[in-house]
Amino acid sequence: MEGIFSLDFLLTVVQEAFRLKIIIFSALGVFTGVTVGAIPGIAGDVAIALLLPFIYNLQPVAALGLLLGIYKGSMFGGAISAITFGVPGTGGAVVTVEDGYPAKKNGYPKKAMLTALFSSVTGDIVSTVILVFLALPLAMVALKFGPKEYFSLYVFAILMISLLLQGGMKKGLMAAAIGLLLGCIGMDPITGTTRLTFGIRHLRGGVPLIPLLIGMFAISELMTQYLKAWYRNRSKYIKESELSESSSKLSKESGYNPSKDIMSFKVYLSTLKATFIGSFMGTFIGALPGAGSSLAAFVSYGLAKRLSLHPEQFGKGSLEGVAAPEAGNSATVGSSLIPLITFGIPGSATAALIGAAFMMMGMQPGPLMMQDNMPAMYTFFVVILYASIMNLFIGYFLIPIYAKFSMIKPRFIYPLLFILAIFGTYASRNSIIDIWLLLAAGLLGTLLKKAKYPLGPLVLAFIIGPGAERSLRQALLIGQGEWSSLLKSPIAIGFYAVTVVTIILITKAKFQEKFS
């Protein structure tokens, strides 16, 4: 360890990390990730998958820089789409929509996007610092998570989110159960038995996430707003619509006032608590293999709401409600590399890609990786850090452009959003059936929205349901079918205890609210 503090070592690392090729590819990756991730309809994972052929045709070092850049950029890019259009690009961005989209409707999209950017970068840097200095201890903690522990974490997350988001508790739980049921469609995660496919071969792999997400958010929003856009223009009662056609930047229809949409250091400080909650929660959850950035975003949001001084603002455009999930999901980028580097176990699908790139460079992910490749690893850490800084500058540069897009008149935006949703869904699996699923999800989302069912718990349960089921059944297989074996873990007991306490506190608060 003394070697890493010697001047020679530091100079080698800095020289390698700041090679022009790596800088250029990292910057290109961030720019591409942010831009593609910000296109509503193109999910973050789709961005990476579409750019994969380019990545692997490069030299491994440049490929790593590009991949890291895209990974980080697309995390933040998803927030732009969520805030500007109310269309989440990834599961984690669903929570950003909860407060980000109302923020835009309330007239401060730029402030929301900048909050998302700053908290994203903060989360990223926190998890990278923890990766560098605390990788092994955190990995040892992560290894303690087995089936029982994962199941308890998923139960905690689903219950917390169902109870905390806008809408009644019962409707939240019903929405979560609908999400669980939708997640059961297809092959079961343990035996591969097909369920609920009704003979449709295409559903054997389950309902794909992208059509569900985009359908429930984008298509349902379009279904409700499309006619309004037509009606607004037609109505004799809204004479301003004639004026707004010729007005320059300020649209009176949307009531946008740029002077109210200015970000300041004070605003950033006001969201700092939520940012740090997200950063640490995201770092921890990112280090758990397979847990996912969506779970990190949801749990960060839930915790931030519980610990906020103004929880009543959440769901109505609270900037804390934007900062927490964004910090949470970005913090998973660095920490998902922890199990990869320490034990050769990729923490996420993108971490697996990064692992493959390492292998192509002759570096075997695993316990000996650090010790056998110290200069290369520290070079990599430096690149991760400056990619975060690049994310900050590039994001800062692109935000004003996206803020302008958010104010384009609805009659142009809605048809275009629809087309992008169709193209984005088709791009992911080249399947017409996915398009029909997209429309069906849109109808479902609309019907549920009309009756005020929150969509967040549904999406979270859909995403983590298969993992929760797998953990439950694995735990029961290990425990020979005994339900009591689920409690034979102090970590699991801890999560269940926190869940029970949270339910009691929330229920108490809701009763008090109802009868006050």
Site for other proteins in 89-148 (CB under 8 A): 143-148
Residues contacting 114, CB < 8 A, separation 6+: 263, 396, 399
Site size toward other proteins (CB under 8 A) is 117
Q: What span, in angstroms and rounded, lies between the C-alpha atoms of 186 and 448? A: 23
Is residue 511 part of the contact set for other proteins (CB under 8 A)? no
Least distance CB 13 / other proteins (angstroms): 22
Is residue 496 part of the contact set for other proteins (CB under 8 A)? no
Residues pairing with 195 in the sheet: 186
Least distance CB 105 / other proteins (angstroms): 11
Nearer to other proteins (CB atom), residue 249 or residue 514: 514
199: left (phi over 0), alpha (psi -120 to 50) or beta: left
8 A C-beta contact, residue 454 and residue 172: yes
Pick out residues in 13-52 that bind other proteins (CB under 8 A). 49-50, 52
Mark the segment that binds other proteins (CB under 8 A) among 183-191, 251-259, 326-334, 508-516: 183-191
Among 135, 184, 399, 407, binds other proteins (CB under 8 A): 184
Least distance CB 6 / other proteins (angstroms): 25
Among 200, 250, 432, 497, binds other proteins (CB under 8 A): 432
Nearer to other proteins (CB atom), residue 194 or residue 254: 194
DSSP state of 1: -
Residues contacting 423, CB < 8 A, separation 6+: 41
User: For the window 376-405, what string marks contact with other proteins as x by the rule CB under 8 A?
Assistant: ------------------------------
DSSP of 287-337: TSTT--HHHHHHHHHHHHHHH-S-GGGTTTT-SHHHHHHHHHHHHHHHHTT
Least distance CB 50 / other proteins (angstroms): 5
Nearer to other proteins (CB atom), residue 204 or residue 310: 204
Count how many Cα atoms sit within 13 Å of the Cα of residue 323 in the half-sphere of its side chain: 26
Among 23, 129, 134, 177, binds other proteins (CB under 8 A): 177
Q: What span, in angstroms and rounded, lies between the C-alpha atoms of 432 and 475? A: 38
What is the separation of C-alpha 134 from the centre of its chain, rounded to a whole number of angstroms? 24
Mark the segment that binds other proteins (CB under 8 A) among 2-10, 119-127, 310-318, 424-432: 424-432
Least distance CB 272 / other proteins (angstroms): 33
Using CA atoms, how far residue 277 sits from 111, 173, 228, 285, 384, in Å, is: 20, 25, 39, 12, 21
Pick out residues in 290-349 that bind other proteins (CB under 8 A). 290, 339, 343-346, 349
Give burial (CB, 10 Å; 0-12/13-18/19+) of 257: exposed
C-beta contacts of 379-383 below 8 A and 24+ residues apart: 379/13, 379/16, 379/17, 380/64, 381/128, 381/131, 381/132, 382/13, 382/14, 382/17, 382/18, 383/17, 383/22, 383/26, 383/64, 383/65, 383/68
Pick out residues in 463-492 that bind other proteins (CB under 8 A). 465, 468-470, 472-474, 476-478, 480-481, 483
Pick out residues in 265-294 that bind other proteins (CB under 8 A). 289-290
Residue type, 181: L
Among 58, 181, 389, 493, binds other proteins (CB under 8 A): 181
Mark the segment that binds other proteins (CB under 8 A) among 75-83, 193-201, 310-318, 495-503: 193-201
Is residue 416 part of the contact set for other proteins (CB under 8 A)? yes
Is residue 191 part of the contact set for other proteins (CB under 8 A)? yes
Among 287, 323, 353, 437, binds other proteins (CB under 8 A): 353
Least distance CB 199 / other proteins (angstroms): 11
Question: Over the Cα atoms of the chain, what is R_g?
Answer: 23
Q: What span, in angstroms and rounded, lies between the C-alpha atoms of 43 and 426? A: 12
Enter the tokens of residue 461: 């349960």
Least distance CB 168 / other proteins (angstroms): 7
Is residue 241 part of the contact set for other proteins (CB under 8 A)? yes
